[in-house]
Structure 1
Amino acid sequence: MHHGHDGREPVSPKVNEVGRAVMDAAFAVHRELRPGLLESVYEHCLASDLMRAGLAVERQIAIPVHYREDRLDVGFRLDLLVESQVIVEVKAIDALASIHTAQILTYLRFSQIRLGYLINFNTPRLKDGFRRLVL
């Protein structure tokens, strides 16, 4: 079996299309605002651009965590959920660390969503602050 394929379906074209829209919007926001602002500002502007592009966007969605018989109502909050199928986690920090990647993979797992983006706006070149994650 070759690497990276464990029998899962690839992400659907529809989901990939939403992902591309997220990337385009993120680059536009970064171009306009540059690094140095609060996460909440980037999150607001990104959501606003995506909605203007006709996409359904929900902000700060609480996702429960199930552990054995327990259900913890606010396990975590997703920054943005786009079209109910792409998670976007917005950061404005010095550098992304592996913990941030682990965090969004956990979000994907608990929310049953396949595609996520981790975007750090506080970087001179946005592509250096971009992670695309597929579960």
Structure 2
Amino acid sequence: MSIQDVSVGHRYRRIRTSGGADRSQSDPQTYAVIGAAMEVHKELRCGFLERVYQEAMEVELGERRIPFAANVEVPIRYKSQALSCSYRADLVCFPLDSPVLVELKAREWLGDRERAQVIHYLRATGIQRALLINFGTFELDCERYVCGWKR
């Protein structure tokens, strides 16, 4: 499994790691969600549609007693005015105390569009952390985003 940490502010940087230092103690919520994703990927492997992984993640999070909300509406604002359209984030884990936005994909690779989507969701919600998890490859791909701005 590969994990990327992405610090989001005016600029962001990516750090790709493969194993190495255990950062789970510094951010136990995101690493708990990553653990659930690893279990789902181990059981299902790649090849299914995104909605299959979504439902499997909901089951796994429930079994691990990780609180979450599914298909969370993300309102869109333009010049401080709420627009009638909105997006839906796949999951928000730990929604009441320390929320982690989780966007799931089942693609061959992740591109700038998927990364921009996560960054826009963070800006729209004010949530400080996100995971972009891709089940579409033989090795689980996960990118962790941490905001550098205050809302």
Q: Same fold (TM over 0.5)?
A: yes
Percent of matched pairs sharing the same residue: 33
Q: Does 1:87 align with 2:101?
A: yes
Aligned-residue Cα RMSD (Å) equals: 2.1
Cα distance in 1, alignment partners of residues 143 and 50 from structure 2: 16
TM-score, scaled to structure 2: 0.75
Runs of 4+ in 1 over 2 A off after TM superposition: none
Following superposition, the deviation at residue 18 of structure 1 comes to 1.3
The structure with more strand, counted as a fraction of residues: 2
Query: Structure 1, unaligned stretches of length 5 or more?
Result: 7-12
Higher relative contact order (CA 8 A, sep 6+): 2
| Cα deviation 1:9-29 (Å, max 9, x = unaligned) | xxxx99921101110000100
CA distance in 2, matches of 1:47, 1:74: 26
Q: Residues 120 and 97 (structure 1 numbering): CA distance in 2 closer, same or farther, change over 3 Å? A: same
Give the helix-richer structure, 1 or 2: 1
Q: Is 1:50 aligned with 2:58?
A: no
Q: Does 2:111 align with 1:131?
A: no
Q: Distance in 2 between matches of 1:69 and 1:40?
A: 33
The whole-number CA distance in structure 2 between the counterparts of 1:47 and 1:107 is 20
User: 1:99 corresponds to which residue?
Assistant: 113
Following TM superposition, by how much is the alpha carbon of 1:133 offset from its aligned partner in structure 2, in angstroms?
0.7
Unaligned runs of 5+ in 2: 1-6, 10-23
